[in-house]
Amino acid sequence: MKKYALISVSDKRGIVDFAKALLKFDYEILATGNTAKLLSQNLVPVKEVSDLTGFPEIFEGRVKTLHPKIFGGILFRRDNSEDKIQAEENSILPIDIVCVNLYPFVQTIKKENVSLDDVIENIDIGGPSLVRAAAKNYKFVSILTNPDQYENFISELERGSISAKTREQLAVAAFSYTSNYDTHIANYLEQRFEFEKSHIRINEKLNRKLRYGENPHQSAKVYGSFDDYFEVFHGKEISYNNILDLIAAAELCEELGDNACTLIKHNNAAGAAIGAYPLDAYLKALKCDPVSAFGGIVAFNNEVDEKTAEKLNEIFLEIICAPSFSDEALAILKKKKDRRLVRKLKKINEPGLSARSIPGGILVQDKDLVTFNKDNFQIVTNRKPTEKELEDLTFAWIVAKHTKSNAIVFAKDKATLGVGAGQMSRLDSAKIAYMKAKEHGLDLKNSVAASDAFFPFADGLLEIIKCGATAVIQPGGSVRDQEVIDAANQNNITMVFTGIRHFKH
C-alpha cells in the first residue's frame, strides 16, 4: 500500500530538505498550493491536494484541505476493520505523516496599523483542523508542527520507524500549538471588539528552566517571551529571584525617566536617583543604602560608560541592566565573570494584566500604570510647596509606588535618603526609613516624604515631620484627613494629596 505524507506549511524553513528525506522512505508527497509550488520548483515530486480530492481550492484558498478524502485518510483507525472497509469503499488512502504549521496570525497582529480584514484572513481554519485530526489519531499518524522537529523525526525514521512515544510527544506538542494559536486569536479579537474578558487564557511556551525558585528546594521555569524584553549576555545563569528584582529595577527606572538609576534588593529600592548623567545618578542612589546595595541589582535608563563601569566594579552586584553599554564599559564589566550583564530591549511599563495563583484559580488585576499628574494634585495645607519640593515629591511618589506596602520614602534632590518598606505599620516604616538614613550619614532635614497610602492617624505624619521632612505627598482619603492636615499646618509643612493609592503587596 502506498504511504502518504501531507505537507501544508506557512513557515517553509527546511521543508524542501524534509520532503526530500521522506522520499527516501517511499512516501508520496501531498501538498497545498504554495507549498506544492515550492516543492516542485525544488524538484520534489508532489501531488496537489486538489488532484487527490478532485475538488479545487476555492475562495482564494479559504477552502483547500477540508475534504473527507483528506480527513478520512488521517482519521481512520488502521486497526479497526470497519474503518478499513469504509476507507476502501470511499477510495480513502492512509495519510501517515502530516506536516502543518499555521498562517502567521501572531506576526500579522504585531504589524503597525494592520487592518481587521488582514487579521481575519490570517486566521487559519483548515490547518488547525488537520493538526488536531492527526494528533487525535496519534496511534497511527505522526504530526509535525515545527521545523525544529524535522531532523529528529528523520533520524528516527532512519533507525527503522517512528516510536509510539515520539508520536505521543508530537501529538501533545500539536495540541499545545493549536491551543496557543487560538489563545492569541481570542485575546486579540476580545480586545479589538472591546469585549470584557470572560476567560484568562495563558498559553506560553517554555522559555528556560531555572536552577531553582525562591529557595533551592523549589523548582522554577520561565514561560513566554522574556527574551523580547531582556538580553542576558554575560555572566551566570539568571535565577528566579534575579528576574523578579530585575523587573522591579527596570520598572522603577523606566518610570523615573532620563538619567535615572535604581538599586533593588528583594524587590524594594535600596536607592534610586535621577542625576545629570548615569554615574551621577548611580552615586546618588548608592548613598541611600550602600550596605543593602551589596549583592543587589542596578538598572539605568541610559548607556553605561567607562567611568560608570569603573565605579560599578567597586562593589558586588548581581546584575547590571541598561539599554546599552559602551565598548570600554563592557571591557571593564566583563572582568567579573559571574555577574550578569543585561540589555533592556524594550519598554516594559505597558498596559496589561498582573496575575497571581491562588487555590483553585488565578487572582488578576490591571497593571498599576497610573502616574502622578501635576495638574490634578491637591495642596491641602496653608504652606504651598516650592517648585523644587514639588519635583522631589513627584520623585518620591514614584519610588513609593514601586515599594512594598506600607511604604515611606524620604527624598531630596531627586534621590532617595531613606526607604521604609513592607511593614505592618506605616509608623514603623517611617522609623525604619529614618534609621536607615541616619545609619548612612544622611540628613533628612528639609527633605520630602511620600506615603503609598493615606495616614489613618496623625502619628505617622508627626513621625515624618520629626525626621525633618518639610513636604509630604500622600493619597488622602482617610476619615481623619482633617486631623492629619491640621497636624501639617501646625508644623508649617506642605502636604499634597494625589487621590491615588499605590499599595504593592
Which residues are marked as active site? 136, 266
Instruction: State the maximum Cα–Cα separation within the chain, in Å, rounded to a whole number.
Output: 97
| Residue 139, number of CB atoms within 10 A of its CB | 12
Report the alpha-carbon distance of residue 273 to residue 23 in Å, rounded. Answer: 65
| Residue 225, number of CB atoms within 10 A of its CB | 10
Give one DSSP letter per residue of 374-419, joined into a string.
TTT-EE-SSSPPPHHHHHHHHHHHHHHHTSPSS-EEEEETTEEEEE
Q: Which three cell numbers stand for residue 169?
A: 510527544
Torsions phi, psi for 95 (to 5 deg): -110, 110
* Element counts in the chain: helices (H) and strands (E): 19, 21
Which strands sit side by side in the sheet containing 27-31, from one edge to the other?
A: 47-48, 27-31, 3-8, 95-100, 142-144
Report the alpha-carbon distance of residue 421 to residue 123 in Å, rounded. Answer: 48
CA-wise closest residue to 453 among 416, 395, 387, 403: 403
Element (H, E) at 420: strand 415-420
Contacts of 270 (CB under 8 A, 6+ apart): 263, 264, 288, 289, 292, 293, 296, 419
Residue 237 C-alpha from the chain's centroid: 18
CA-wise closest residue to 222 among 340, 101, 505, 230: 230
CA-to-CA separations, 107 to 102, 119, 206, 368, in angstroms, rounded:
11, 10, 19, 28
Q: Which three cell numbers stand for residue 62?
A: 479559504
Angle at 263 between CA 258 and CA 266, to 5 degrees: 135
Residue 246: strand, helix, or coil: helix
| Residue 190, number of CB atoms within 10 A of its CB | 15
| Residue 383, number of CB atoms within 10 A of its CB | 16
Q: Three-state secondary structure along 138-173?
A: CCCCEEECCHHHHHHHHHHHHCCCCCHHHHHHHHHH
